[in-house]
Amino acid sequence: MLNEQALNERAQHFLKVLIERYIRDGQPVGSRTLAKDAGMELSPATIRNVMADLEDQGLITSPHTSAGRVPTVHGYRLFVDSLISLQPVDHRSIKRLQGELDEKEAPQNLVETASRFLSGLTHMAGVVMIPRHDQILIRELQFVHLSDMRVLAILVTSQGEVLNRIVETSRRFTRDELEQASRFINDHYSGLELDAIKSRIVREMEEYQQNMDKLMREALSIADKALQDE
């Protein structure tokens, strides 16, 4: 497996400079450009030899008939794993980010704010990810009566996110029935991941249906519809 030990210090430096230049310009990097950016007094022949060595190891390649080189997937991987120089974020920037992120904001707004801040700080594309819904723990599920045959399912995650889903039911439920159904679901499934709840509801509906009373079966059915839609 290729790693930084397989390259001498000069080859590592040239690979790092080539990738940084390619990321910046999006064009194949030639020997002359590489020599200028690298800041090393080397002959054109020496630079060509280093480029050939990098190409032989599958770290760079020459697209089409171009004289320049571009990084390969293996080259990028070595760059990311070993050659990037990371600078710690200064205390002022951390304080500024904390000031701009309001915990009361909707999760989507927080993600957008963090992404813009990250992009401005690094002068690169800022990508911020939140956990997928099926990996988020469910804190609470409430059912609210809307009309004769519709129920509003309110899902609250452990992250404080609130998701709403309207469910069509097979009959009209009273407020007391929906409150009992909510308590049943929360007592049995609160604290589990969304994906695990889905699987468990389906399994228990199949295995224990005869031993459940009618309201329990209907509570599982409403929850299953709400979560499957989500």
What distance in Å separates the CA atoms of residue 157 and residue 141, rounded to the nearest whole number? Answer: 9
What distance in Å separates the CA atoms of residue 178 and residue 159, rounded to the nearest whole number? Answer: 24
Q: End-to-end CA distance of the chain, in Å?
A: 42
- Listed range (14-23, 71-80, 144-153, 210-219) with the worst mean pLDDT: 210-219
Task: Specify the pLDDT at position 59.
Answer: 92
- Listed range (28-37, 82-91, 113-122, 184-193) with the worst mean pLDDT: 82-91
| CATH architecture of the region 7-83 | Orthogonal Bundle (1.10)
Where do the H-state alpha helices sit in 26-174? Answer: 31-38, 44-56, 73-78, 91-100, 107-122
Average pLDDT on 51-77 reads 85
What is the fold of 134-229?
Enolase-like; domain 1 (3.30.390)
* CB crowding 148-185: b at 16 or more within 10 Å, else e: eeebbbebbbeeebebebebebeeebeeebbebbbebb
Task: Specify the pLDDT at position 3.
Answer: 47
Model confidence pLDDT, tens digit, residues 4-58:
455 788 888 888 889 888 888 888 888 888 888 888 777 878 888 888 899 999 9
Query: Rounded to whole angstroms, what are the CA distances from 198 to 17, 154, 201?
Result: 50, 16, 5
Per the CB < 8 A criterion, the answer to whether 228 and 165 are in contact is no
Residue of higher predicted confidence among 189 and 114: 189
155: tokens are: 């899902």
Task: Specify the pLDDT at position 4.
Answer: 47
158: tokens are: 């452990």
Average pLDDT on 197-219 reads 76
Question: For residue 65, is pLDDT > 70?
Answer: no
Q: At what angle do helices 91-100 and 107-122 cross, to 10 degrees?
A: 150
What distance in Å separates the CA atoms of residue 99 and residue 4, rounded to the nearest whole number? Answer: 40
